[in-house]
Structure 1
Amino acid sequence: MDFLERYPAITHYLFALSSLGIGVGHYVAHAHPFWILLAETVVPLLLSVGIGYAGRRFERLDPSARHVLRSAVVLCAGYLYGAGFVAFIEALQTLAGATPMGTQYLILVGGFGGVAMATIITHFHVAYDQRLAELRDQTERATRLQKQVSVLNRTLRHNIRNELSIIEGWLDEALTGEEDSAEEARERVLAHLDELEELSDTARRIQEVLSEETRTTMDVTDCIDKGAERIQSCEPAVDVSTEQTEPVVVEAHPDLEMAIRETFANAVEHNDPEDLEIAVSIVEDAEHADSEDWCRIDITDTGGGIPAVEVEALENVEETRLTHGVGLGLYLIKAVVEQSGGEVEIKPCDSGGTTVRMWLPKADAESLE
């Protein structure tokens, strides 16, 4: 299969060389009048050029091994069709008493004419198949984005309403309460305004992630180290450990480091940093979706776990009641991982805490940018 993907137009080129050989060989081996010989030679030469050019165009379609095999079958069938058709006509002429001229030559040229016709069929089939797959991918992506936007929009509206309701209550206290309570109320209002600003910023980042199709190769170990360094600079008491030291290269969205950092931040947000431990494990050749071309990242904390309502809301597209406290951090993680072509799973640990598992497609280490 690797040979077919490396040389997708091999069948085209073999037929082109064969047709070229028929043209040259016929010119050398026969002593027909020059104008007849020229005509009989030019036809297979032109066919060889056409078939070879079609092979070059076929390569540009970047066909899969399955497409290459199908094209080889179609080209061979085209040859048999063309040669068989000419042979049938010649047989009828013979039965009718006519004296066929150059029967073998006509059969061979007819075969390569069939190949030329078959290349059109082959290219149409491959281009149609690829376009169909592309449209299917676009439809699936549009459906996924619609689902994500629906959930995100509902959660964002929910949080904004809650924050505004809280701010309204504290503003009333700030305007009508005693001096001490009014000062506290003003501080609470400012704090919740900061939360609204942070909420808006997170929503903007999610929108940017969902609208960006770019993927790049990166060392996931380096992303984890930078994320751990960032979170520990804010919360020095948090212990982040990982056993992986060698580079592990994946193909992912450029904001993968931000998603990993957000995972750490979620663990800190829902637990006491003084007692929090975060362990990161990386399985470089994890089997997923019947393939081992995946990297699995498990980020496990020892806290009380992410509230179940947040995990459920991450997948729930129905307009059901949401509980206060559902944030956007998990949506950001999910958006980055899915835009990387991977999947994310969030599940509680038996011993307490939460594991955020990310599946990401592996990449060739030589392609690391």
Structure 2
Amino acid sequence: MSFSRDRVRPQHGVYALGAFCLGLGLAHLVTEGEGIGTALEAFVICAIALLVVGTGYGLPNRPVSRSGKWRALRLAAAVAGSFALLALAVWLIWALEGDPSEFTFLLAFATSLGSAVGVRGGLHAVEADERLDEARDLTKLLTINQRVLRHNLRNELTVALGTLDRVERRDHGPETDDDVRTARTHLERLVETTDRTREIVSIWNTDRRETFRLRTLVEERAEAVGAAHPETLIATEFDGDPRVRSHPALPTAIEEGIRNAAEHTPSDAAVTVTLSTDRSGAAVVEIADTGAGIPQFDVDAVEGPTETPLVHTQGLGLWIIYWTVETAGGTFELLENEPTGTVVRIALPTVEGS
């Protein structure tokens, strides 16, 4: 029988931790006699255990990611273990002083209290950490859009409007045709920039996830780019066919990476797209070109905490890849190819059983 990670949820772990603490309370009641003091001690332990169970019941409604909830559970277990070790140390001190009593209560109480403090404190800590990360990402996203709207769009519109002004002031002829083509080129760039900016915002605003077979996806995107750039050979290499669960924009992100490589590769060279699985089990897509490489300010903008203050990234396609991979819990890297060119490396967690 295969173990399905999807069936075991973080709240199940919290329930198990609470049940363990509840068992400690009942064990204390059974082993330490029937006195009123023992009953009260057991009641305190069981009450704390029920607090842990109650936290698990409300866990699905907490604004914390699944991985964050697992992290909070690990923190709770670590705190519970630390409290238990502290209780053991206190009991050893008492034992050395000739009073080795109350061991079971001390251990059960400390473990239960540590579990309650750990699970609730851990959730608050993880939630605050994720909110901070979200705020940083949002700041980065707003900075990108602000700079794009202020710089890229304004420049493109200025060129287009200036060209059209010249068209209006003279008779039609060969020069007019050239100006019209120039205007059309810049306006098309403007439309493309607007579309890509909108795509980036939609990635941020969409929580929906889809399951993709990467081999099929890469093959389809490589064929699409190859049809648009027949002068460039696009070679594909596959090692397996992993499945990933990602943002619906993943096909666009993969195509952006391949298209960027095709546009920067000499006509007599090839773009190589490889699909493999690394040691951690993540699916890895590498897109390698032999062109001049991605400008350093584009690399700095994507890999830095915010866009650099003196330059702006021209490669909005890189941001589409970045945000798509980021929301899927993967990693995105820009590496140098040998002897020249760039390698776009995308690593995504795979769906179990793929």
- TM-score w.r.t. the length of structure 1 is 0.70
Instruction: Find 1:196's aligned residue among 181, 190, 193.
Output: 190
1:159 aligns with 2:152: yes
Matches within 5 A, 1:285-304: 285-286=278-279, 292=280, 294-304=282-292
Bigger shift: 226-235 or 72-81? 72-81
The structural deviation recorded for 1:201 is 0.9
1:170 aligns with 2:160: no
- CA distance 1:144–1:58, shift in 2 (3 Å): closer
Identity in percent: 24
- CA distance 1:164–1:71, shift in 2 (3 Å): same
Q: Which residue of 2 aligns with 1:336?
A: 324
Q: Which residue of 1 aligns with 2:338?
A: 350
Q: Which residue of 1 aligns with 2:293?
A: 305
- Paired AA for residue 328 in structure 1: L
* Deviation sequence 1:280-328 (CA, Å, 0-9, x none): 2234124xxxxx3544321002334334454345447333155xx9242
- Paired AA for residue 211 in structure 1: N
Q: Distance in 1 between matches of 2:342 and 2:197?
A: 24
Q: Which residue of 1 aligns with 2:9?
A: none
1:67 aligns with 2:55: no
Q: 1:184 aligns to what SS in structure 2?
A: helix
Q: Distance in 2 between matches of 1:80 and 1:306?
A: 58
Does the 8 A contact of 1:22 with 1:44 survive in 2? no
Q: 1:296 aligns to what SS in structure 2?
A: strand
- CA distance 1:139–1:213, shift in 2 (3 Å): farther
The structural deviation recorded for 1:15 is 0.9
Does the 8 A contact of 1:160 with 1:196 survive in 2? yes
Does the 8 A contact of 2:52 with 2:115 survive in 1? no
Q: 1:246 aligns to what SS in structure 2?
A: coil
Q: Which residue of 1 aligns with 2:275?
A: 282
Q: Which residue of 1 aligns with 2:310?
A: 320
1:56 aligns with 2:65: no
The structural deviation recorded for 1:230 is 2.2
- CA distance 1:9–1:194, shift in 2 (3 Å): same
Q: Distance in 2 between matches of 1:52 and 1:285?
A: 41
- Paired AA for residue 310 in structure 2: T
Q: Distance in 2 between matches of 1:190 and 1:134?
A: 49
Q: Which residue of 2 aligns with 1:18?
A: 27
- Paired AA for residue 163 in structure 1: E
1:135 aligns with 2:125: no
- CA distance 1:43–1:258, shift in 2 (3 Å): same
Q: 1:179 aligns to what SS in structure 2?
A: coil
1:149 aligns with 2:142: yes
> What is the Cα-based RMSD across aligned positions, in Å?
4.0
* Deviation sequence 1:331-359 (CA, Å, 0-9, x none): 22222222233332223423333211223
* Deviation sequence 1:100-153 (CA, Å, 0-9, x none): xxxxxxx77x95498458634531333112311321232133224323432442
- Paired AA for residue 209 in structure 1: I
Please tell me whether Structure 1 or Structure 2 has the larger radius of gyration of its CA atoms.
1
- Paired AA for residue 21 in structure 2: H
Q: Distance in 2 between matches of 1:57 and 1:293?
A: 35
Name stretches of at least 5 consecutive residues in structure 1 with no aligned partner: 27-36, 86-90, 92-106, 287-291
Does the 8 A contact of 2:335 with 2:344 survive in 1? yes
- CA distance 1:12–1:167, shift in 2 (3 Å): same
Does the 8 A contact of 1:8 with 1:59 survive in 2? no
- TM-score w.r.t. the length of structure 2 is 0.73
Q: Distance in 2 between matches of 1:303 and 1:132?
A: 46
Q: Distance in 2 between matches of 1:312 and 1:328?
A: 13
Q: Which residue of 1 aligns with 2:65?
A: none
Bigger shift: 58-67 or 327-336? 58-67
- CA distance 1:347–1:281, shift in 2 (3 Å): same
Q: 1:243 aligns to what SS in structure 2?
A: strand
Instruction: Find 2:217's aligned residue among 223, 234, 241.
Output: 223
- CA distance 1:80–1:348, shift in 2 (3 Å): closer
Q: Distance in 2 between matches of 1:312 and 1:111?
A: 58
Instruction: Find 2:112's aligned residue among 111, 114, 119.
Output: 119
Q: Which residue of 2 aligns with 1:359?
A: 347
* Deviation sequence 1:140-172 (CA, Å, 0-9, x none): 332243234324422442211221121123212
Q: 2:53 aligns to what SS in structure 1?
A: helix
The structural deviation recorded for 1:216 is 5.2
Q: Distance in 1 between matches of 2:73 and 2:40?
A: 32
- CA distance 1:173–1:41, shift in 2 (3 Å): closer
- CA distance 1:56–1:80, shift in 2 (3 Å): farther
Q: Which residue of 2 aligns with 1:179?
A: 172
* Deviation sequence 1:5-53 (CA, Å, 0-9, x none): 6953464143134145348x75xxxxxxxxxx8x789757756754653
Q: 2:238 aligns to what SS in structure 1?
A: coil
- Paired AA for residue 123 in structure 2: Q
Does the 8 A contact of 2:76 with 2:114 survive in 1? no
Does the 8 A contact of 1:9 with 1:68 survive in 2? no
- CA distance 1:358–1:76, shift in 2 (3 Å): closer
